[in-house]
Amino acid sequence: MVFSHECTNGLSYVIDRMHSHPIHAHVALEKGERSELANVANELL
């Protein structure tokens, strides 16, 4: 089974590639919100 992590996550890849671009910005959220669907998927996987 393959799980997403910092090396395979598409968003992490884009952030890394855009890091040196002049219009790049990055926001780190302090708290995340999960949907009920995400919670169910987490339980099943």
**DSSP secondary structure letter of residue 34:** -
Domain ranges of the chain: 10-44
Burial 14-34 (b: 16+ CB within 10 A, else e): eeeeeeeeeeeeeeeeeeeee
The number of CA neighbours under 13 Å toward the Cβ of 2 is: 5
| CA gap 30, 4 in Å, rounded | 20
1-34, pLDDT tens digit by residue? 556 666 667 877 888 888 889 998 878 888 888 8
Task: Give 11 or 42, the one with higher predicted confidence.
Answer: 42
Predicted model pTM: 0.39
